[in-house]
Structure 1
Amino acid sequence: MTITHQDELDGLRDIGRIVANTMQAMAKAMEPGMTTQDLDAIGAALLEQEGALSAPQSTYGFPGATCISVNEEIAHGIPGPRAIAPGDLVNIDVSASKNGYFADTGATWRVAPVRPALDRLCRDGRRAMQIGIAQVGAGRPLAGIGRAIGRFADARGYTLIRNLASHGVGRSLHEYPEEIATWPTRDKRRIDRGLVLTVEPFLSMGGLWAAEGDDGWTLRAEPAAPVVQYEHTVVATDRGAIVVTLPG
């Protein structure tokens, strides 16, 4: 989607606020012993309360309102009977639509106590996302996002999952540009003014690829390694990026 009017930006901000608030409320409620299905029920209720539709459910028939991935699961985890335990890394990804606008956000949360290396991975994962967002602006190269994140990852000894990319969003969950690398590429495309996109690097301690599990949804790292993901939906302007997935 490319924003051309203020009412479009307002619509995006509204659904962006909803998904951000939902993710934050789920993270605040998370505690050892609860199942990922329990956590998803909280998200489903909050989306319904706001008049929003779960995007993975409505678009792809995903068996959950949100995606919840624990430890070896790095994305598209199906909410179910798995109990959350101390020391877990839990990724919560919330995407939804309202009044024809879609927004997508995600973050990886720690359940204490977490090993220092994983705590550092989470902090650096959020920083990698912020570095990518700083490269977003009208007329700037799309490849600048992946180049900047790649430099950051290399300098700290991390790897990046290279088959899970950022994407256009706004009028649907996934739209043009459908694959925006968060690792270095030679992509020649430029960022149009008003373009709506996600920035969502998957930072890892050795993983290179995402492999689909037996359930047809859940993705795991290959080689097996811890992975974190942080994601915002942003709009490109002449002055940089507007982040629309902010709580409020």
Structure 2
Amino acid sequence: MTITHQDELDGMMEIGRIVANTVRAMKDAIEPGMTTAELDIIGDALLQREGAQSAPRMTYDFPGATCISVNEAIAHGIPGNRRFKRGDLVNIDVSAEKNGFFADTGASFCFGTAHPRLVKLCQDGQRATDIGVAQVGTDRPLGGIGRAIGRFAADRGYTLVRNLASHGVGRSLHEYPEEIPTWPERGEKRRIGKGLVLTVEPFLSTGAFWADRGDDDWTLYSHPNAPVVQFEHTVIATDGAPIIVTLPA
């Protein structure tokens, strides 16, 4: 989607706020022994209260309102009977639609006290995303996002999962430009148009390069097996600093 009118910007800002607030509220609601399904119910209720609906459910018939991935699961985790325990590495990904506008956001965090290496990975995952967001602007190279994130990762000894990319968003959950690399990709020659709406969502790891699909046909796991974190924002390109749609209010 490319923003051309104020009402489009207003619609994107509204759904962006909703999904961002939902991620934050879900994170705050986790308690030891709670199941991922119970947390998903909370997220679903928050979306409905705001007049929004789950985008993965409406678009792909995903078996949950939100994606909740724990430890070895790195993305698209189906809410179920898994119970949270202190020290877990958790990722919550929320995308939703309201009034024809879609926004997508996510965050990884350690629940309770965790190994310092995991805490540092989460901090650096957020930094990697911020670095990527800073590359978004009118007529800037789309590949600049992945190059900047790649430099940050390489300098600190991290790897990037290379088959989970960023994407366009706005009037649908996934749209042009599809498969925006968040790693260095020499063949990426596209440029960013003014008003373009896209996600920035690198998957930073201590050793993984790929995501493999599990037996449930949804949940993704790291390969080689290593901790992975993901932070995601929906952003809009402008002539100046990008507009981050998915900030909690």
- Length-normalised TM-score, structure 1: 0.99
CA distance in 2, matches of 1:247, 1:117: 27
Task: Classify the secondary structure of the residue corresponding to 2:64.
Answer: coil
Shift of 1:158: 0.3
Alignment of 1:70-219 (within 5 A): 70-186=70-186, 187-219=188-220
RMSD over equivalenced CA pairs, Å? 0.5
CA distance in 2, matches of 1:62, 1:120: 31
Moved over 2 A (4+): none
CA distance in 2, matches of 1:238, 1:31: 43
Supply the AA of the counterpart residue of 1:17. R
Q: Which runs of 5+ in 1 are unaligned?
A: none
CA distance in 1, matches of 2:224, 2:79: 24
2:25 paired residue number = 25
1:134-173 deviations in Å (ceiling 9; x for gaps): 0000000000000000000000000000000000000000
CA distance in 2, matches of 1:31, 1:167: 33
Range that drifts further, 109-118 or 165-174: 109-118
CA distance in 1, matches of 2:70, 2:223: 15
Shift of 1:32: 1.4
Shift of 1:16: 0.3
Task: Classify the secondary structure of the residue corresponding to 1:172.
Answer: coil
Q: Which runs of 5+ in 2 are unaligned?
A: none
CA distance in 2, matches of 1:111, 1:95: 22
- Length-normalised TM-score, structure 2: 0.99
Shift of 1:240: 2.5
CA distance in 2, matches of 1:16, 1:204: 26
Alignment of 1:44-83 (within 5 A): 44-83=44-83
CA distance in 2, matches of 1:32, 1:137: 42
Contact map agreement 1:138 1:240 (CA 8 A) in 2: no
Supply the AA of the counterpart residue of 1:196. V
CA distance in 2, matches of 1:31, 1:20: 20
CA distance in 1, matches of 2:241, 2:178: 21
CA distance in 2, matches of 1:30, 1:237: 37
Q: How many residues align?
A: 248
Contact map agreement 1:135 1:240 (CA 8 A) in 2: no
1:235 paired residue number = 236
CA distance in 2, matches of 1:111, 1:219: 20
Task: Classify the secondary structure of the residue corresponding to 1:157.
Answer: coil
Task: Classify the secondary structure of the residue corresponding to 1:233.
Answer: strand
